[in-house]
Structure 1
Amino acid sequence: MKSFFKINTVIGLIVFGQSQAVKAQSLIFERVFDKTLAQTSYIIGNSLTREAIVIDPKRDIDTYLEIAQDKGLNITHVTETHIHADYLSGSRELAAATGAKLYLSDMGGKDWQYEFAHLPLKEGDKIELGSLALEVMHTPGHTPESLTFLLKDQSAPLTPIKAITGDFIFVGDVGRPDLLEKAAGQVGTQEASAKQLFASISRFMKLPDNTEIWPGHGAGSFCGKSLSSEPQSTLKQEKSSNHALQFLNNEAGFIDYILSDQPVPPKYFAMMKNLNKVHRPLLVEVPKHAKLSKIEADRAINNKLQIIDTRSKEIVASGFIPGSLHIEGGNSFSTFLGSLLDYDQQFILVAEEDKIEDLTRKLMRIGLDNIYGYISNVNGQSLALLKSDRVDLDKFETKIDSKDVQMVDVRTATEFKNGHIKGAENISFTSLTENMDKISRDKPVIIHCQSGARANIAYSILKKNGFNNILNYSGGINDWVEKGKELEKKIH
């Protein structure tokens, strides 16, 4: 099996200790960053005892097994900062594969308890790795059970070296307290969660200013609105630059700030909240999927299996299978597909053979395992292929000058608010299915997004639903701005 960290994960080995009580040769600290979900996990090891703990692992666990083997460590402990909403945790898979002890939060009340076997963690508990210890700090707000782990040297227990904060405090932001309501359906919880978050932050601010902050996400995550791409910070730096921390003496102002302008969470978040809490089948290896023959693929298509075409928009434009959804297999692939596909729906991937493992990894991280197989050559199928109707800037401008056309911007409401083409309507691609009545079947409809990826998805959704007079300005806002055209910020 290929090592994932050679494909799509950024790993940084960081050995600290020269200015701390922990000696450099005993502490091994590695950050594993998955850029597809902007998600971070950590391996902390003691080079003297060879023990290691993994915090917030992703589901393709071979990454951690290979790192441990390379560094001569034994993974003896696995834990999480909270019940995640944005990805399917690999904690149970990793514990099963290594025999490690699984430690999980026992805070937050009975409605926020993990429903499978684990060792419970409460405020003040410690997980020990020889002279190193992770002390548990209960930091509710993003979720009721949320924990922060304070890495300490047991010979100097009053001084934390690092704080593994999960989705509590990020670089440049703090965890959003509205996801329980918006993603998990816990109506009426966001204000109470915001108050909890404010109290947790106030308590955390009492730690030493030089405490290093190592968060669970970076820029690109839906778990906040202003996350930085920087991997870590210090408490002192965040006090001066993190806008959410400028309300330390103003609870009402903090609540208003943190609940406003949060991005709409992807549809699959509700499923993750549930699957990370309950019993589920474990997947300890990356699955291998069959390449379908022409007969097998035709049969599957006739049986209404969904086709997911992962090829580039340029290739798809020249020919695609009718009824397929076009979602390019880039960094946002899993987020987009998780926002559109039902989890009980079986599907087929259209992709080159050398891309299948990477796509499988991206999908297994959010539990989309229902892959029937894949095809790499659409020209070999029985159905007549369709071609995309794409327009460039010149043709786009000619069309929108006419009143006999509908222009639809399929980006998010926040993006639209921050700048859009005059005359455009905003219907996000994830809400198209529920808003078909707003799309004209009588006159031409031109769709666009920021760079073309979401517009191609929207185009495929509309074609699948019988809209035949659809044009795709695939250059989108990026092309519009690059050509010196103005955007309008007033919402109509």
Structure 2
Amino acid sequence: MFFQHVYDKSLAQASYFIGCQAKGEAIVIDAQRDIDVYLEIARQNNMKITHLTETHIHADYLCGSRELAAATGAQLYLSDEGGDDWQYQFPHVGLKHGDKINVGNLTLEVLHTPGHTPESISFLLTDHPATDKPVMVFTGDFVFVGDIGRPDLLEKAAGIIGTQEKGAKQMFASIQKFAQLPEYVQVWPAHGAGSACGKALGAVPSSTVGYEKIRNWAFQYGEDEVGFIDYLLDGQPEPPKYFAMMKHLNKVNRPLLVEVPKLPELSKEEFITAYNNGLKVIDTRTKETFAAGHLPGSLNIQGNNSFATWCGWLLNYEEQFVLVANDSQIEDLTRKLMRIGLDNSYGYIADITELGLELETEDTIDIEEFKTYIGNPNAQIVDVRGASEYQAYHVDGAEHVFVGTLPENLDKFDKDKQIVIHCQSGDRATIAQSILAKNGFKDVKNYSAGMKEWMAVDR
């Protein structure tokens, strides 16, 4: 058997290339949208991708199964579980609990594991030349290392009311069945630490059924369904706004993108025209560089592993936008955008100093100045971290506005006071400061070192 784990750090998303070397056939599970990685694996190992499948209708990224099908002619095998409302709306071979996919001498048995979503399935793999016992289970967003999938996304992200309690009950039942699998079976999930699909995902890529039964909180509740559900639904991170669009696009027919686009570098005249016409400018430079000088109205979303997530929070799928980025970054940023279906980039520019436009700066402050605003009636301190982070600990008197929802909560900021913002270590605060500046809040101070420094020093 050939096996390769493909991991996208920017979305903490795992996909799998599994092949039968004797027959030269392979299957890809939960492919990312930039599919060249799988085509190259197949080429290097003299294999043909013949089968494609997904564990469920994903919410956090745009799955590349259809792009791979178009490029290779491979057959799509997708869940037909969950009822009429949870069916893929394009041609595929439907899968039900107990069905099997044969890939050469390998067999993947379908397990219906609802909870995260109603149609969720897992795949129990048997490598017949080696053994007739299962050796791996691909769990999607069902069981992670140290955690399980959240059942509240359909309600919180897609607005489908009443689904989180039902999903939590389904998850409890699915967990009981999962615990009956042999303890030696390897567990390969669709996400790792950093994903918003759970609240405590482990950083190691895989585990075993036995190990999860020992260390995963979800297996410690026995028959206490109420306690299990209460803990599962409590403290889940805010689901990014773009999740609802991903749920839709992964379910219906959509335009395919079988190659990574090449974004054009804009001339000075092209950029200024676009800028004056109101195209949103996403400045991907570091927060320090952005603070030292940036275009008025631009948003600072740094080109790091969180780039796609914050773009998904703050961009919509109808508007065009322009990037400020180095030439060396642009392919990586393009891949990150296409993985969540943000294909409307007009182009990019590398050096804003050559535009001849007046630049703005950000006011960042140190911890000593930050202390002077605590308890000051003329100052408004705003913590832009997630709700669970704020509830766990926050500076006395600090108000809370999560950065992802900040554009809808501008009325919570008081222009008659000195606004002081912070997050954990500055990345979210620079996004927040740029949003506020774009909306007329120019005199905003940013305690960029944030709670990471605050909690480390003697206060």
TM tier, smaller: over 0.9
Structure 1 residue aligned with 2:330, among 328, 339, 356?
356
Structure 1 contact 432–458 (Cα < 8 Å) conserved = yes
2:143 pairs with one of 157, 160, 169? 169
C-alpha displacement at 1:271, in angstroms? 0.4
Answer whether contact 1:159 1:208 (CA < 8 A) is retained: no
Residue of structure 2 aligned with 1:436, choices 372, 389, 410: 410
Once the two structures are superposed, residues 286-333 of structure 1 have per-residue CA deviations (whole angstroms, 9 ceiling, x without a partner) of 000111111111110111100000000111111111111111010001
CA distance in 2, matches of 1:248, 1:95: 42
**1:66, 1:233 → 2: CA distance?**
27
* 1:258 paired to 2:227: no
Aligned counterparts, 1:85-484, within 5 A: 85-154=59-128, 159-400=133-374, 402-484=376-458
The AA in structure 2 aligned to 1:219 is A
Task: Please state if 1:79 is matched with 2:53.
Answer: yes
Q: Tell whether 2:23 aligns with 1:58.
A: no
Give the TM-score of the pair, scaled to structure 2. 0.98
C-alpha distance in structure 2 between counterparts of 1:421 and 1:291, whole Å:
44
**For the residues of structure 2 that align with 1:280 and 1:252, how far apart are their CA atoms?**
40
In structure 1, distance between residues paired with 2:400 and 2:128: 56
Does the Cα contact within 8 Å between 1:298 and 1:382 map onto a contact in 2? no
Shift of 1:129: 1.7
**Distance apart, 1:400 and its partner CA:** 3.0
Contact 2:375 2:397 in 1 (8 A): no
Alpha-carbon offset, residue 159 of structure 1? 2.3
Quote the Cα distance in structure 1 between the aligned partners of 2:129 and 2:228. Answer: 37
8 Å contact from structure 2 (residues 373, 381) kept in 1 = no
Q: Deviations over 1:91-130 (max 9, x none)?
A: 0001111111111111111100001111111111111122
* Alignment partners' CA distance in 2, 1:125 and 1:157: 19
Superposition misfits of 4+ residues, deviation over 6 angstroms: 155-158
**Residue deviations 1:24-73, cap 9 Å, x none?**
xxx11111111111100001111111111000000010111111111221
1:42 counterpart SS class: strand
Q: Shift of the alpha carbon at 1:402?
A: 3.1
Quote how far apart the aligned CAs of 1:350 are. Answer: 0.2
Name the SS of the counterpart of 1:160 in structure 2.
coil
Q: How far off is 1:156 after superposition? A: 8.4
Q: Which residue in the other structure is 1:16 paired with?
A: none
Aligned to 1:22: none
For the 8 Å contact 1:346–1:372, the answer to whether it is kept is yes
Deviates more, 1:87-96 or 1:116-125: 116-125
Q: Tell me, in whole angstroms, the C-alpha distance in 2 between the residues paired with 1:130 and 1:138.
A: 23
Q: Deviations over 1:213-234 (max 9, x none)?
A: 1111111111111110111111
Q: Which amino acid aligns with 1:277?
A: K
1:39 equivalent to 2:13? Answer yes
TM-score, normalised via structure 1 length: 0.91
For residues 123 and 402 of structure 1, the distance between their equivalents in structure 2, rounded to whole angstroms, comes to 61
How far, CA to CA, are the matches of 2:95 and 2:428 in structure 1? Answer: 42
Q: Secondary structure at the match of 1:279?
A: coil
Q: Is the 8 A contact 2:51 2:103 kept in 1?
A: no
Q: 1:291–1:98: structure 2 CA closer, same or farther, 3 Å change rule?
A: same
User: Matches of 1:153 and 1:310 in 2, distance apart?
Assistant: 45
**Structure 2: gaps (5+ residues):** none
Instruction: Say whether residues 1:68 and 2:42 are aligned partners.
Output: yes
| Structure-2 residue corresponding to 1:24 | none
Cα contact 1:322–1:383 (8 A) shared by 2: no
Query: How much is the aligned-residue C-alpha RMSD, in angstroms?
Result: 1.3
Counterpart secondary structure, 1:482:
coil
User: Per the alignment, do residues 142 and 158 of structure 1 end up closer, same or farther by CA in structure 2, a change over 3 Å counting?
Assistant: farther
Structure 2 counterpart of 1:466, one-letter code: G
Task: Say which SS state the counterpart of residue 432 (structure 1) adopts.
Answer: helix
| Aligned positions, number | 459
Letter in 2 for 1:184: A
**1:157: how far off?**
7.9
1:158 Cα offset (Å): 6.2
Q: Using the alignment, how far apart are the partners of 2:435 and 2:377 within structure 1?
A: 24
1:314-373 per-position Cα deviation (integer Å, ceiling 9, x unaligned): 111111111111110100011011011111110000001110000001111100110000
How has the CA–CA distance of structure 1 residues 421 and 219 changed in structure 2, closer, same or farther, with 3 Å as cutoff?
same
**Residue type at the aligned position of 2:191:** H
2:115–2:171: 8 Å Cα contact kept in structure 1? yes
Which amino acid in structure 1 is aligned with residue 379 of structure 2? V
Superposition deviation, residue 251 in structure 1? 1.6
Question: Structure 1 pair 246/98, CA: closer, same or farther in 2 (3 Å)?
Answer: same
Distance (whole Å) between structure 2 residues aligned to residue 398 and residue 180 of structure 1: 43
Residue matched to 1:9? none
What CA deviation, in whole Å up to 9, does each residue of 1:242-293 have, x standing for no partner?
Answer: 1111123122221112111111101000000000000100000100011111
Q: Please tell me the residue identity of whatever aligns with 1:86.
A: D
Deviations 1:393-427 (A, max 9, x none): 12222333533111111001111111212221111
* 2:221 and 2:227 in contact (8 A); partners too: yes
Code of the aligned partner of 1:206: Q
Query: 1:376 Cα deviation (Å)?
Result: 0.8
